[in-house]
Structure 1
Amino acid sequence: MLFNSIDFLIFLPIVFFLYWFVANKNLKYQNLLLLASSYYFYSCWDWRFLFLLIFSTQLDYYTGIKIFNSTRRTNKKIWLWISVGVNLGFLGVFKYYNFFAESFEQAMSLLGIKTSLGSLKVILPVGISFYTFHGLSYVIDIYYDRIKPERNFINYSLFVSFFPLLVAGPIERATHLLPQIVKKRDFNYRNAVDGLRQILWGLFKKIVIANNCAEFADTIFNNNSHQSGSTIILGALFFTYQIYCDFSGYSDIALGTAKLFGIDLLRNFSYPYFSRDIAEFWRRWHISLSSWFKDYLYIPLGGSKGGMWLKIRNTFIIFIVSGFWHGANWTFIIWGLLNAIYIMPSIIFNTNRNNIEIVAKGNFFPNFREIISIGITFTVTVFAWIFFRASNVTNAFLYIKEIFSYSILSLPKFEGMKNSYVILLLTFIMFFIEWFGREYQYGLAFVSKFKHRKMRWFMYYLLIFIIIYYSGKEQQFIYFQF
């Protein structure tokens, strides 16, 4: 069930009505309703994988209690590694087995040894990377005595499976979400209105910008050998806009939907394309994943406390693992490696914390230095996205090769070029709105500060009209494949 589908448009009001008007007086019934709704939501993808989700939930629930109850550190570690091993084992089989098998066969063939490990013809369970990380953070936090286990199985299951975040995050922490689940929630009109506003903004980014940019990016990437250098650059830009509006659009809808039920989820995006360096970009892009790797991998590896060499090593590990988390393809690993190289100057010269606040805070225009910094950061980010989008490494290098041809001086031209003009204009308007609202939690939030109600409603109706006009393409969100 897609957020941008008719099914979800029917599903959400029904759950909302039952939640606030039928189960409103009883927290237990509210949580049970949300859990049942979440399992139904997930089973709409493929009901068979619902059993995998439930098994993973039961495993972490049980091992969490065992870790907490164990008096010996050895026993705690055993239960921890059972959870980690089984969870990563499932992730490895479904997501990475074919990659490792094919890579091993290719490596052996270079040595003149023919091997055949076979391949698994299985569908990747949607959201497996996300709910696996939910469970892992929970048991690791219990192991390090950061939290106590949740004894109520319904409450814990809802933490793992809450439908707005189930298939593409944000990756929640038990310390943030579980206290909200176990506490009585009262309806807040202002919070619900803000949630609807954020959903509207997410739908605009997904349906209007991301879906159309995806169409243009696919046309150019799939026919790059016949395109000019200038068109190739335009294709990379289309994908850059697509992946941001697709994933941040999903996050906006997820956070807005959760607000309708009185729950606040972790913020996942904070205007990353306005970043002045790569370190800032990674503090603003997929925030929940970046912070997860920082807390559960980077810091346990030693973080930045063991000298420059250790800091550099750990940074490369984090980015390579992050690339591999996104998919079983060398293109993702190179993408992660590129970002590690990009961030190295700020690590070496200790400038990675220079840009903490949002750019030009309190001012409408950035200064000249900030404009140059944003431009450079955006350019190298676009270049890295080419590897993220390419089907394989060879195609990525062929794509890049076309950029540096004489045809880069020609005007871009591809099938559907005329249709792209309006989308490029709407993309510019979208970024303008986000720039204007960059000091808020999401771009459209600043509209709530308009003094005249008619201006607010004009903006809302205009966005709704544009969304309806461009609706009809039920394209999956990019991060469903991860």
Structure 2
Amino acid sequence: MIFAEGKFFVFFAVAFGVYWTIRSNLWRKLWLLACSIAFYAAWDWRFLGLVLLVIVNTYAVTLLTVRMPSPSGRRAVLAAGIVVSLSVLGLFKYYNFFVASLSQIIPLDARIEGLILPIGISFYTFHSLSYMIDVYRSRIVPTRSFIDVSLYILFFPQLVAGPIVRATDLLPQLRNLRAFTAVDFKLLLAIFLIGYFKKALVSDNLSPFVEAFYAAPENFGAVDGLIATLFYTVQIYCDFSGYTDMAIAVAGMLGY
């Protein structure tokens, strides 16, 4: 489920409508967390446990870091937390490459299968690292709310393709009830539509030509190559920029 799909509009309409009818900040956050879990499960529910591992690691490390009486103890806790988060990322990012490389050296059991790369793993891992490092550097006091940490890492507008948000920016906002009247919906709708235009109308329409060229460049001429390179640059920019615009707008419509 991506922002440019029709089913996302249905999902967000429900999330948005219920969210603004809730008057309790705690229950609003619980609702957003439930929506974020459902959003991620729509991609692949099997990796929810992996996200939970990253959240628990982040929560525990940040609280333990400030309790350490010595700088060496703080560094040790941070190092352990970084190792856990990066190990999760490294396993899924590089396992297939490692197995493929190893199979060229020694015969491997054919039953060894590659791992599916969990959607958004880079983004929620870097959110985890950013928060742990900010706590270690005393840029932010760690929250004792497991809900807030979970929402910081799982918040669905920035879960799949970013942007990466600093804990110093989002966590303080989660402490207070957001005001409906403080949201500039016209501006946010304009930002969303600009992002949608970049993603759905520019990037997605350039993709077929770019893929066709790079799949068989020998079938094209030099001019085609230059055009494909230009199109690829525009495609990548519009893909990430468009998704970022839509993510900012969606989060903004929820008051963040």
Structure 2: how far apart are the matches of 1:49 and 1:160? 14
2:5 corresponding residue in structure 1? 5
* Alignment equivalent of 1:81, drawn from 79, 82, 97: 79
Structure 1: how far apart are the matches of 2:106 and 2:167? 44
Structure 1: how far apart are the matches of 2:181 and 2:94? 44
Q: Deviations over 1:208-247 (max 9, x none)?
A: 1111100111122212101110011111111111111111
1:51 deviation in Å?
1.1
Structure 2: how far apart are the matches of 1:36 and 1:156? 14
> Are 2:93 and 1:95 aligned?
yes
1:355 corresponding residue in structure 2? none
Change (3 A) 1:209 1:64: same
Aligned length: 254
Structure 2: how far apart are the matches of 1:105 and 1:144? 43
Q: Residues 223-372 of structure 1: matches in 2 within 5 Å?
A: 223-263=216-256
- Which amino acid in structure 2 is aligned with residue 140 of structure 1? I
2:186 corresponding residue in structure 1? 193
Structure 2: how far apart are the matches of 1:261 and 1:192? 10
Determine which structure has more spread, i.e. the larger CA radius of gyration: 1
Change (3 A) 1:125 1:183: same
* Alignment equivalent of 1:61, drawn from 59, 62, 65: 59
Q: Residues 406-425 of structure 1: matches in 2 within 5 Å?
A: none
More helix per residue: 1 or 2?
A: 2
1:197 deviation in Å?
1.1
Change (3 A) 1:11 1:131: same
2:45 corresponding residue in structure 1? 47
Q: Deviations over 1:249-272 (max 9, x none)?
A: 100100000110111xxxxxxxxx
The gaps in structure 1 that reach 5 residues or longer are: 107-113, 264-482
CA contact (8 A) 1:188 1:262 kept: no
CA contact (8 A) 1:210 1:243 kept: yes
1:149 corresponding residue in structure 2? 142
Q: Deviations over 1:363-389 (max 9, x none)?
A: xxxxxxxxxxxxxxxxxxxxxxxxxxx
Task: Provide the alpha-carbon RMSD of the alignment.
Answer: 1.6
- Which amino acid in structure 1 is aligned with residue 106 of structure 2? T
- Which amino acid in structure 1 is aligned with residue 146 of structure 2? F
Structure 1 length as normaliser, TM-score?
Answer: 0.51
1:127 corresponding residue in structure 2? 120
CA contact (8 A) 2:2 2:8 kept: yes
1:403 corresponding residue in structure 2? none
- Identify which of structures 1 and 2 has the higher relative contact order when contacts are C-alpha pairs closer than 8 Å and 6+ apart: 2
1:115 deviation in Å?
2.8
2:215 corresponding residue in structure 1? 222
CA contact (8 A) 1:206 1:250 kept: yes
Structure 1: how far apart are the matches of 2:31 and 2:76? 35
The gaps in structure 2 that reach 5 residues or longer are: none
Q: Deviations over 1:431-473 (max 9, x none)?
A: xxxxxxxxxxxxxxxxxxxxxxxxxxxxxxxxxxxxxxxxxxx
Change (3 A) 1:71 1:10: same
Secondary structure in 1 matching 2:156: coil
Q: Deviations over 1:340-360 (max 9, x none)?
A: xxxxxxxxxxxxxxxxxxxxx
Secondary structure in 1 matching 2:184: helix
1:18 corresponding residue in structure 2? 18
* Alignment equivalent of 2:173, drawn from 166, 173, 180: 180
CA contact (8 A) 1:127 1:167 kept: yes
2:164 corresponding residue in structure 1? 171
Structure 2 length as normaliser, TM-score?
Answer: 0.94
1:117 deviation in Å?
6.3
1:210 corresponding residue in structure 2? 203
Structure 2: how far apart are the matches of 1:123 and 1:165? 21
1:384 corresponding residue in structure 2? none
2:70 corresponding residue in structure 1? 72
Secondary structure in 1 matching 2:157: coil
Secondary structure in 2 matching 1:44: helix
1:192 deviation in Å?
1.9
1:193 deviation in Å?
1.8
1:145 deviation in Å?
1.6
